[in-house]
Chain A
Amino acid sequence: MYYIDPHIHMVSRTTNDYATLARMGCVAMSEPAFWAGYDRGSADGFRDYFRQLTEVEPARAAQYGVRHFCWLCINAKEAENVQLSRDVLKLIPEFLDCPNVLGIGEIGLNKNTRNEAIIFQEHVELAVEHHQPVLIHTPHLEDKHQGTRMILDMLADHANLSAERVLVDHVEEHTVKPVLDAGFWAGLTLYPVTKCTPARAVDIIEMMGTDRLCVNSAGDWGPSKPTAVPDLIMEMRRRGHRESVIRKVVFANPREFFQQSKNFDLADPASR
């Protein structure tokens, strides 16, 4: 089955991973800007990173027939540095017309601090000003519930931001319902230990339904599995879900969300 991985950090992955993903049916992916594993020293470091996301990775993906899209921001962890964040925010508009940029992301919270909240709000204002969709990171582990609720509070302040243009990512059992109830899209991340397993993700899909839910690997430089979406496909098949239902979750849903970006143009492979 062909699918889209709506959240994967290919800058941290090998070219062999591109080949493997292509063989497993991945036809497109989107890569949100994130923390590199160390704090960058200047806004110029982010300019170089944005060039990697908009020039280098699409070319690497294209070698295997995979479409690569991306999202731009300063991540929540480095957003603790407000001055650096504001310097990076000034850079972002010059990249928004690059052909693979889908919007602003993954913005969000990390330890739910005041500085993170300030920069989150400024990112949302940038997205509204430039009419960009938004991809949101929710915090890890014990910070997730509190941080997700804080993010929803802040989003509620922006009446001019359409909920259907926002995806709140890394939801789990305790955060998925408030996100969907508020009208946003929700992303389930398949991580070996710290987020959802494929089995738990399918449980959530069975309880919440398939509308506005996407599934991703968030494959990166840490413990993660870039081929986790096919694992979810296998789990759904094992439980007897119809192919059309699986396809909605792993292809039609992310495609529908991404199509709100002016730079997204992915034909359905079935129409070839």
Chain B
Amino acid sequence: MNAKEILDQEFLTIRSRLLDIAASLDRIQRAEGDATADSRMANVSEAIEIVGSQQLHRAERVQLLFSREYDQAWKTQYELDSRA
């Protein structure tokens, strides 16, 4: 399938999911209290920026945004020897 054919197939699904996200954010904002300081909200905003960008591998970049950092020196921190 070419890009136009895929868009024809996916458009309504994309539209529906964007509306779900918009409605979820509205629901949070309408509710009592304030969640804007919650770090997850900042991640959501950044993820939306990634989704709207023109660079490929959006899904991978969103995954990494929601991931804890990997430190190559973790074995030293855990005082674990490499095993053979």
Contacts and interface: CB of A to CB of B under 8 A. Distances in A.
Interface of A: 112, 114, 117-118, 121, 124-125, 141-146, 149-150, 153-154, 157-159, 172-174, 200, 203, 239-240
A125 B83 contact: yes
A159 B64 contact: no
A144 B67 contact: yes
B68 A142 contact: yes
Contact of A118 (B63, B66, B68, B80): B80
A121 B80 CA distance: 10
A82 to B, nearest CB: 13
A146 B70 contact: yes
A141 B66 contact: yes
Contacts of A145: 63-64, 67-68, 70
Contacts of B82: 157
Given A158-B83, A174-B60, A150 B1 contact: no
Contacts of B59: 173, 200, 203
A117 B78 contact: yes
* Listed residue (A145, A154, A200, A240) with the most chain B CB atoms within 10 angstroms of its CB: A145
Contacts of A112: 68
B75 interface: yes
B69 A146 contact: yes
Interface residues of B, number: 20
Interface in B51-73: 57, 59-60, 63-64, 66-70, 72
A142 to B, nearest CB: 5
A143 B74 CA distance: 14
A224 to B, nearest CB: 20
Contacts of B57: 173
B67 A157 contact: no
A149 B70 contact: yes
A232 B84 CA distance: 39
Contacts of B63: 144-145, 172-174
Contacts of A154: 83
Given A114-B80, A203-B59, A239-B1, A150 B68 contact: no
Interface in B1-21: 1
Interface string B10-53: 00000000000000000000000000000000000000000000
A240 B67 contact: no
Contact of A143 (B1, B60, B68, B75): B68
Nearest to B13: A199
Contacts of A141: 66
B74 A159 contact: no
Contacts of A158: 83-84
The 5 A-B residue pairs whose C-beta atoms are closest, nearest first, are A174-B63, A145-B67, A173-B60, A114-B78, A149-B70
Contacts of B66: 141-142
Nearest to B63: A174
B27 to A, nearest CB: 17
A121 B68 contact: no
B84 A157 contact: yes
Contact of A150 (B74, B79, B84): B74
Specify which of A112, A173, A200 lies most central, judged by the most chain B CB atoms within 10 Å of its CB. A173
